[in-house]
Amino acid sequence: AQSVAQPEDQVNVAEGNPLTVKCTYSVSGNPYLFWYVQYPNRGLQFLLKYITGDNLVKGSYGFEAEFNKSQTSFHLKKPSALVSDSALYFCAVRDDGNNRLAFGKGNQVVVIP
């Protein structure tokens, strides 16, 4: 079985400060990891993914994430947060044994002006 944990319900950060949204995962095979963002009353938008290769993945809107196999983590980061980054962020994982994504509960990010 595959699962994702996003331990913090809400992340508050001041505009201009670094933003980190944590994600740990559990899979039985090789992990394929994804981050999505959901703005109010909108569907989920893809940010970035890790399939293989370089552990540091760069994505949309200045976001990046680092795959850490030993810690089974895939934390999302942005060096300087914007007020417009305030949204709900979902981490997701699937292993190479099936086609289904397992999503975390999501983290509400609030960027304070």
Partner 1 sequence: GAGVSQSPSNKVTEKGKDVELRCDPISGHTALYWYRQSLGQGLEFLIYFQGNSAPDKSGLPSDRFSAERTGGSVSTLTIQRTQQEDSAVYLCASRSPGQGTYNEQFFGPGTRLTVL
Nearer to partner 1, 17 or 28 (CB): 28
105 binds partner 1 (CB under 8 A): yes
CB of 111 to partner 1, least distance (A): 21
Task: Name residues whose C-beta falls within 8 Å of residue 83's C-beta, 6 or more positions apart in sequence.
Answer: 15, 111, 112, 113
Q: Are 74 and 23 in contact (CB under 8 A)?
A: yes
From the list 7, 46, 56, 68, which residue makes contact with partner 1 (rule: CB under 8 A)? 46
31 binds partner 1 (CB under 8 A): no
Cα–Cα nearest to 66, from 100, 9, 20: 20
Cα–Cα nearest to 33, from 61, 5, 62: 5
40 binds partner 1 (CB under 8 A): no
Question: Which residues here bind partner 1, judged by CB under 8 A?
Answer: 32, 34, 36, 41-46, 49, 51, 90, 92, 94, 99-106
